[in-house]
Structures are given as C-alpha cells and as structure tokens.
Amino acid sequence: MSSDPHAYMPIADYALIGDCHTAALISKGGSIDWYCPGRFDASPVFWRLLDSGQGGHFRVSPAEQGWKVTRRYRGETNVLETTFDLGGGRLRLTDFMPVHRRQRSRVGQDVGTTGKVLRLVEAEGRDAVIEVDFRPSFDFGRVETQLSVIPGIGAVASDGERSLALYCGRFERVFSRDGELRGLIRLRDGERSWLALTPVSDGDEIRPLPQPDTCVSELRRTLEYWQAWASRCRYQGAYRAHVLRSALTLKLLTYEPTGAVVAAPTTSLPELLGGIRNWDYRFTWLRDASLMLYALSTVGYHEEGADFISWLAATTKNDPTPRPQIMYAIDGAHELAEERLDHVDGYKGSRPVRVGNGAYQQHQLDIYGDVLSAAHQFQHVEADPSMPLPEAAGQLWRRNWPLLCRFVDQAAAEWREPDSGIWEVRGGLRHFLHSKLMCWAAVDSGLRMAQEQRLPAPAERWRRACEDIKTAILDRGFNRELGAFTQAFDDDHLDASVLVMPRYGFLPPTDPRFQSTVDAIRGRLSREGLLRRYEAPSGLTSGPEATFVLCSFWMVDALALGGRIDEGLRLFESLIGYLNDVGLMSEEIDPSSSSDVLLGNFPQGFSHMALISSAVNLGLAQARGPEQRPHTEPERAAKAAATAGDSTVG
C-alpha cells in the first residue's frame, strides 16, 4: 500500500460523468479513478481515488510531458471535455456515459442508458500520440482480476463473475503485464479515435468497437438529452450558471430505475485528512433526498421528486421495522451493514475505508420533517399551472396520504425521545434541538396539507403536538446567557443546524432570538468566514474538522432573509469561489489548505442543493423583504426563481 500523499490528485481535480445509474470521477490528467459498473453502490473496478498503489484506473492522456490542461462541460450538459495544450496544437478528450430520453413508464425499469463509458480523443493543430493505461481491479482488489488482450479489439477484464471490455482498435503498440494494459494511439492532425468501456455478460461475444457513426450518434443523443433537461430550468436570476450546474449535478445523483437519490457517488473520502470520519455515501438518506429534490423543484424540476415519492412509498411499505429507517439502498434494501477495508490505503492515508453505512440503524427524528415539507411543496407545484407535473404524478402525494399521515403521527408521538441528530453522531442519544424542530415541521406541514386539501387527519391532536413542541423548543432550546438557540435542550453548545428555523416557518428570520443566534454562531463556529457544523462536548467528535458547505449556505439564508442581504451576498460569493474548475463542490472546505481545499465525498448533493436554495433565497429576500418565509414556502419560491432576473443581484 502507498501512503504517499503526493501520489494522489486533489479531490478538486476531479469531474463527474454519469448516466443516472452510476457515475465516474475523471481527473484532470484524463484518468477514471472511480467507477462502479452498473449502479452507484456496486463494487468498483476503478478505485485509485482510495489507493494510489493498488487501486484500478483507466487513463487516456498525451504520451509527451509538459502539457497544460483546461476542462469544461460542453454547454449545459454533463458531457465532459478536457483539452490538453501540447504547444502548437491540442489533444481534446471527450468523456460521457450515453443516456437518452426515458420512457414515461420507466420507473422500476432499467432503461435510458447503454451502460457504456465512451471516450473520444481528437488531435487539433498537430499530430499527437496518446497513451492509454488500463488497469481494472475488481472488488477493491479482494478478488483476482484476469486481463486478456484481444488484438484488433482491445481487452477484457474479469473476476470470474463479472467482465468489463475495453474497445479500441487503434492501438499502435500494446504492452500488457500484471493485469495492466498500456497502449499507444497515434493521431494525425484532425484525426479522432473512440474508446469504449462496457460491462459484458458471460457468453457475450466480444465484438469490435461500434462504428464511429454509432458513437457520434450516442454523443449527439446524450447532448440532446442533457440540453433538453437543462432547458426546463426556470431560474433566470443572477448565478444562473452555478444554479444550473448544481441542478445537473443533482440529476446525476438520481438512480433512474427506482427514483432513489444518492447523497454522493463515492465512499470514504475523508472529512479530515488522516482522520477516521470516512463514510460510504452511495445510499439514499430520506433527509438528503427530500432536500435535494426540494431544491430541484423550486427551479422547475418535478419528475424526479414524483419518482422519489413512488420509491419512498414502495420502500417503506416493504420495511418490516416499526419506524422508517433514515436511509436505504437505492433498490430499497434495508440492511446496509458497514465493513472496514483495512487493506485499502485510503485517500492520502485516511483510514478506514468503509463499504456500507452503520448509521442506517440510527434513530433520527428529523427525517419526518424533511419528507413532509417536500410533500407539501408538491401540493403547491400541482396547484401552479405554470409548473406542470408529468401525467398523474401530481396525484402521488394524495395516493400516499396514509403514508404521510403515518410520518406525521410518528413525529407527534416520538418528538420527546432523544436521537442521534442530523450529524449522525456516534456518541450516544441526545435531545437535539434540530430534531425537535423537524418534528414540529412535520406536524405543521401535515396540518397545512390536510387543511388546504380537506384531507382526513386528527387535526386537533396534531395542533396540540405542534404547540407542545414549539413551547419546549422556546423554553429549553434557547440559552438566555448565550443569547442563542443551542445544539440540544438545556445545553450551552452551539450547532449550525438551528439556522434552518425560519426555513420552516418556526420563527421569522428577523426575530431577535434568531438573529442573536446567528451572531453567536458566526462568532463561535466561524473559520475564515465559513462555518463548522457544531462545537461538541467531549466524546461527540473524533477531532477537528473542516468547514461544512451546507452550514455556510444556511448562514447565507439566515443573513439575507433577516435583512442583512449584503452580508449574505458576500458569503455566497465566497462560497462559490471554492467551486472547482467545472463547478463542483464537495462536502467540506478547508480554507487554510493550499492543496486539499475540498474534502469529503464528492460531489456532495447536500452542497449543491444548498447552493440552489441560497441563490433562490437571496433573490426572494431582495425582491420581497426579510419578513417573507424562505424558499420552503414553495409557491413563492418557485415563482421567485422564475422571476429572479428582475430581483436578484450578483
């Protein structure tokens, strides 16, 4: 194993491609260093991101040295274009996973993708020699990988059960040893060559690469798919490019066969270099998915949320436990047993590397509020004729009213219980304020839905629960000596999660108690202007951490909607300055680092969701004033997003 940190590319040097089934991370040097064939949570075949010595990879780059590189996504798509400046000419590498317009009935069906990764290299301005380095390694190296070179076609890698084929008929010279293939492709000025990577089943005939015209057609269809999807974005205000790139990223995190959404496409990228907080995020948290789809719906995307409601209904119906889990596998599986891979080096030596996530067994009360708030939003989207839902999707929340009622009843009944909280601390159960707040949000949203649509509900019991939760939060959650709402009841520690209070209408953003909390959090949780998640009592954390992107965007909302719009704008500008060169963001930021600024799993759905929300809330605050509720009052937020060009400033 290698623990040399210089052998790893910075997390910020990666870009994402995908087909809404799985995804791949590609470095600035043209190397696919993370790829799980078929689906997000499959065992990887390329994983150099987590072990520079033994992890698999698939690199396509100039054979010569000294080149410079620039990258971009081609227009408003998820097709990646990397340009190597060779001096007097260029080598252009285009990477994508083919995807095409889905069928309406496709939920639960594996359609919309060919399952391939296509790579196109083009010489421009001069001849070029390209080096291809193909080193697959199945199942984190726990099984032997057999690599067979097929002259005139490419190579096939297999672990005895699964196979992966590399198609490339242009190799001028091929060298293969110890499970690694290296080949050269020589292109004249103006020439191009295609490479294809595709899973193959036992018995499949290994055929030559599809004709270039077929590959060109796949590229065209993929560009058209993403361009059509991007054209539905209703947000027209300042920061539109950032908002749309974040929306495109969130779309890549959706799993089309079921409607599930992963929190991130990776596992075990560290929150702190050398630390132990390295978790597997390739699963569907009810909280994360609800908030991510919530943000998408405010800028015009509703099909994804309707699909998620269908997935949620089917998954919880099949869950034998008395209360919903906080997270499930993308196919609805309930058990996500956590395993440590002690033989894997970890990113820059950050161990352990984990597969699975033991947090699925935790009790977290906040999930009820996130799901109910998202469902409430769909009610208003359906009522807005300018934001049509796909056929019949607008009825999904009505058909699932019994499920939503169950969630409200559980929030009303369980809010007095301690839990593990939004940050999934593994130091014991506590009475976290954010969890109580989200129980209040669940009951409040349920009451609103029942009243607005005249749905059957135990309204009086829910009202009493709302009043009891609010009284408890105000009495036991506000520390008068600190002048702030605290992390937990009867506590003196601060937590950035309380910044969402106005988001759910619990208090107006100008309430003096909330504004004094904002100032206290900025004073005690700020690091170079950005926010850490919390200040924790001994035993609650495993060491210092970087600043948390989601929390910093929450502060943007709190400042802007509280009337401090200039302060909110400055913080927002600072945050988007940390996006990498193709507009992607990880979970955490280390503002003091010169090389590892972005940390944590990448790209992180929470972070891109929060960017969208803050852009919308900045426009809403400026257009309507600080007394208005923020973008979780959906009918205002959606319309504000659509008209933000007349109201926001950049």
Inform me whether the pLDDT recorded for 379 exceeds 80: no
pLDDT at 175: 83
pLDDT at 322: 83
pLDDT at 635: 43
Show which of 176, 211, 246 is a domain's final residue. 211
pLDDT tens figures, 570-581: 999 999 999 999
In a domain, 336, yes or no: yes
pLDDT at 5: 65
In a domain, 227, yes or no: no
**DSSP 8-state symbol, 145:** P
* Mean of pLDDT values over 189-203: 88
Q: How confident is the model at residue 395 (pLDDT cuts 50, 70, 90)?
A: low
Same domain, 86 and 196: yes
Show which of 179, 211, 243 is a domain's final residue. 211
Same domain, 466 and 582: yes
Inform me whether the pLDDT recorded for 41 exceeds 60: yes
Same domain, 354 and 276: yes
In a domain, 224, yes or no: no
Inform me whether the pLDDT recorded for 198 exceeds 60: yes
pLDDT at 630: 52
For residues 625 and 399, the model is more confident at 399
pLDDT tens figures, 72-89: 999 999 999 999 999 999
Range of 245's domain?
Answer: 235-646
Inform me whether the pLDDT recorded for 209 exceeds 60: yes
In a domain, 279, yes or no: yes
pLDDT at 203: 60
pLDDT at 398: 74
pLDDT at 554: 98
Same domain, 176 and 241: no
Same domain, 277 and 316: yes
For the four alpha carbons of 432, 434, 438 and 444, in that order, the dihedral sign comes to positive
Pairwise CA distance, residues 255 & 18, whole Å: 10
* Mean of pLDDT values over 320-324: 86
For residues 576 and 558, the answer to whether their CB atoms sit within 8 Å is no
Same domain, 174 and 249: no
Pairwise CA distance, residues 473 & 490, whole Å: 10
Same domain, 323 and 192: no
Same domain, 614 and 472: yes
pLDDT at 109: 44
Same domain, 195 and 246: no
Give the Cβ contact number of residue 522 at 10 Å.
18
In a domain, 343, yes or no: yes
**DSSP 8-state symbol, 342:** T
List the single range of 59-68, 319-328, 414-423, 458-467 with lowest mean pLDDT.
319-328
Inform me whether the pLDDT recorded for 110 exceeds 60: no
pLDDT at 371: 92
216, 222, 228, 231 alpha-carbon torsion, rounded to 10° = -100
Pairwise CA distance, residues 73 & 82, whole Å: 9
In a domain, 601, yes or no: yes
Supply the CATH number for residue 493's domain: 1.50.10.10
What is the radius of gyration, based on Cα positions, of the chain? Answer: 25
Inform me whether the pLDDT recorded for 556 exceeds 80: yes
Pairwise CA distance, residues 390 & 368, whole Å: 25
In a domain, 80, yes or no: yes
Supply the CATH number for residue 77's domain: 2.70.98.10
Pairwise CA distance, residues 367 & 372, whole Å: 9
Number of structural domains, the chain? 2
Q: Which of 154, 170, 172, 182 is nearest to 60 (CA)?
A: 182
Same domain, 162 and 305: no
For residues 209 and 192, the model is more confident at 192
Same domain, 100 and 247: no
Q: How confident is the model at residue 543 (pLDDT cuts 50, 70, 90)?
A: low
% residues pLDDT > 90 (the chain): 73
In a domain, 156, yes or no: yes
Show which of 160, 177, 211 is a domain's final residue. 211
pLDDT at 391: 42
Same domain, 198 and 240: no
% residues pLDDT > 70 (the chain): 88
| Mean pLDDT estimate for the chain | 89
Q: How confident is the model at residue 305 (pLDDT cuts 50, 70, 90)?
A: confident
pTM (predicted TM-score): 0.93
List the single range of 100-109, 132-141, 298-307 with lowest mean pLDDT.
100-109
* Mean of pLDDT values over 258-270: 97
- Which residues touch 381 (CB under 8 Å, ≥6 apart)? 297, 302, 387, 389, 394, 634, 638
* Mean of pLDDT values over 432-444: 98
